[in-house]
Chain A
Amino acid sequence: MKRHIIACIKSVMLEAPSGRAVRTSETCDLNPFDRPSLAVALHLRQVLKGTVTAVSMGPDACGFVLRDALAMGADRGILLSDPAFAGSDTLATTAVLAAAVKKLAPFDVLLFGTRTSDSDTGQVGPQTAVLLNLPMVTDARFIETGPLGLRVSRSADGFFETFDLSFPAALTIHPASVEPADPGLSGIAAAYDTARVEKWTLKDLGLTARQVGSMGSPTRVVSLTRVKRERKCEMISGAAEEQAEVLLQKLIKTGAVGQ
């Protein structure tokens, strides 16, 4: 049986010239945390004899991330784009992605990166899995076929957990789980010259404007400020035991270690 693997990817902001977020292929790139998840999707396609669909929500100018996915070897690329999606927080994004995944059913594996390099919440993957009522393993480190479907291991607090998952299942992929794959030049040429990126709008997904965009987003961004990380060097003197005690008290005080 052919397995259908869906990878949800995002175009992330690299820079915001003059503080304004203009999304183009110049200011954006494929989220680096989505590269391993695409690589896992392509690997699973080979092992399970299936097809890979890459899905991304974003403005039209960001359709190029789907071309990148096609260049890497994805079979199909779908851009979820509608002016109504603007201002979506993770919950509204989840609603859009879940609707798209439902429309793409049947599917067997749903993949996400662990997080994004711009907004970095790590929420979209797990939230989508919940909305679709799918079993999910986050931070999946080793992914192989298993008796039920997939056998997936992840590292948690210094030990490994292994799960047997039946299809359909959702995973977020640990960045170190796979060697990054480079798209070849022929793949890039084909992705732009012959492949097609499909576009699905609000209407195609059967959603209403109230469910998505700023109307569907309980989160309000009040302001954005640059975080300044300052380092301070402090010398501790005294005998080694005293130094250790002073250091311990400081760490407890800052909350770095529990009491």
Chain B
Amino acid sequence: MIPKDLILATESVKGMDGFLSDKHRSVRRSVRSFCAREIAPIAKEIDQEALFPWAVVEKMGRLGYFGIQVPPQYSGAGLDTVSYIIIIEEVSRACASLGLCLSVHNSVAVYPILAFADEEQKKRWLPPLARGEKIGAFCLTEPNAGSDAAGIEATAIRNGDAYIVNANKVFVTNGGIADICLMFVRTDPSAGRKGISVVVAERGAPGFVVGELEDLCGVRSNPVNSIRLYDCNVPAHNLLGKEGMGLPIGLAALDAGRIGIAAQAVGIAQAAMDESVQYVKQRHQFGVSLGKHQMIQSMIADMSTQIDAARLMVYRAAVLRDAGKPISEAAAKAKLFASEVSTQVTDLAVQIHGGYGYSRAYPVERYYRDARVTRIYEGTSEIHRIVIARSVLGV
């Protein structure tokens, strides 16, 4: 049940990663070192200017970050889910916006293609996606549909060898830069939940319009835009799976996506923790460092404990996925808990930093803003509680 390359180390460790394999640690060392050199130094600026850092993203593409779990025959790295969450956590620790970009691209855009596309489609879409030459997006949310995915109004009407698609998708992560968009549309308006399908719309097609950039509170260097399709001709061979499979594809994608967002939440929390630990050692009040005050110690202890628990839940969901086990409940719990921990921990980090924590001079205000959305996207905390309760109660 546990993947072969997960080994239990015998010695107790501070880093709580005794069960990671040498390969996972190699992945983490490599990504951590890349993030420290290439991403962390620009994270503040790209957040404040709401810039998408193409130069760094191209390097990430060359290193394989956009095809983490894509098999080598489609130009991917062929790594497992544990490696995937390690990468998302590390990148998010440096910059939550890029962590989000990677998580959405790898899980809700690339994974459904891997799982549901036919061979011709895989050969067409996966290699450029895996190399980061094309960016993927997942277009579900509409002005009147989000948590209620069955309420979508976008339509795709079959016309010969194509679908005529009309859609108004909002809050599309990677929306401003995405080339390959999984569009959730109604192919059969009379069939309710079973009338929803996924068609892949490619940027540049006539009628494909990138709408306005959302002016968001956090994750500001991810171009979250609306995407509108006006009588857009999408070839019929861009249908993913079969007509009517939209919701099962969406739910499978979101299970994978939730593990990624949970890892992103842990990464943000860890960054806030790292910053706080450094700060309480430096800052002196009442003649001693902040870290000598018991109320601060209590905060640090809670933060560290919460992060450990959240990370373990994320690892569990990843290990289950690698073992081919059902993950809906574990992924929902990991996402719910990690996102709530992330907002609590970043809130405490601001509190520990006092006035400086509220200032843009220090990075904790960014972590605080970035963490908040993890409780909203890829399923709100409330939706996750419903998923978990239904699973536990069997209703």
Contact = CB atoms under 8 A, between A and B. Distances in A.
Interface of A: 15, 17, 22, 24-26, 29, 64, 67-68, 71, 180, 182-186, 188-189, 191-193
Interface string B288-329: 000000000000000000000000000000000000000000
B25 interface: yes
Contact of A184 (B12, B13, B64, B83): B64
A26 B13 contact: yes
Interface of B: 5, 9, 11-15, 17-18, 20, 22-23, 25-27, 29-30, 33-34, 37, 62-65, 67-68, 72, 76-79, 83, 87
Contacts of B37: 180
A9 B9 CA distance: 24
A185 B68 contact: yes
A237 B68 CA distance: 62
A26 B9 contact: yes
Most buried by B among A15, A184, A188: A188
Contact of B27 (A26, A29, A180, A188): A188
A67 B77 contact: no
A17 B11 contact: yes
A27 to B, nearest CB: 8
A184 B63 contact: yes
Nearest to A24: B9
B30 A26 contact: no
28 contacts: A17-B11, A17-B13, A22-B11, A24-B11, A25-B22, A26-B15, A26-B17, A26-B25, A68-B30, A71-B26, A71-B30, A180-B37, A183-B30, A185-B27, A185-B30, A185-B67, A185-B79, A185-B83, A186-B72, A186-B77, A188-B23, A189-B23, A189-B77, A192-B5, A192-B22, A192-B23, A192-B26, A193-B78
Most buried by B among A25, A191, A193: A25
Contacts of A29: 29
Contacts of B78: 186, 189, 193
Most buried by A among B9, B18, B67: B9
Nearest to B130: A186
Of all A-B residue pairs in the complex, the 10 with the closest CB atoms, nearest first, are A185-B64, A185-B77, A192-B23, A64-B22, A25-B22, A184-B63, A186-B77, A25-B25, A184-B64, A182-B34
A191 B78 CA distance: 12
A188 to B, nearest CB: 5
Given A25-B25, A29-B29, A64-B26, A184 B11 contact: no
A187 to B, nearest CB: 8
Given A17-B11, A26-B9, A26-B15, A189 B79 contact: yes
A243 B77 CA distance: 63
A256 to B, nearest CB: 28
A29 B20 CA distance: 15
A188 B34 contact: no
Nearest to B18: A26
B31 to A, nearest CB: 8
B34 to A, nearest CB: 5
A61 to B, nearest CB: 9
B312 to A, nearest CB: 16
A192 B4 CA distance: 12
Given A17-B13, A24-B9, A182 B63 contact: yes
Contact of A182 (B5, B13, B30, B72): B30
A142 to B, nearest CB: 22
